[in-house]
Amino acid sequence: MAAGVTDRLWEISDLVEMLEAWEAKEKRDAKPIFEILEWKIGGGFYVKATLTNFTPENISGFETKNDAIRWIRNDSAAWLHTRQHVIEKKEAAK
């Protein structure tokens, strides 16, 4: 208050509420990350998907980098929806 940052005395509950709102926003804004990587042995490509809970998943079976790009553009949303549903079920079972 003396520094002019706020005009009221904050309670611990105010800080908790602010932190919870920030965490909720971060969760809403979180997006998976898709990276295309080349297999070092055997050739071909795979997509490394890092999900919003930071769980990495490898999707393999792409002959070319363009095949992997096409999968990200056309099929990753459906895969992600299914995968997130499986993760939520596992977390709920804990």
Average pLDDT in the 61-76 region? 95
Closest CA to 30 of 13, 14, 53: 53
pTM confidence score? 0.60
Question: Which residue type occupies 76?
Answer: S
Give residue-wise pLDDT tens across range 19-53.
Answer: 988 887 777 666 889 999 999 998 999 999 988 77
Of 14-23, 46-55, 61-70, 85-94, minimum mean pLDDT range: 85-94
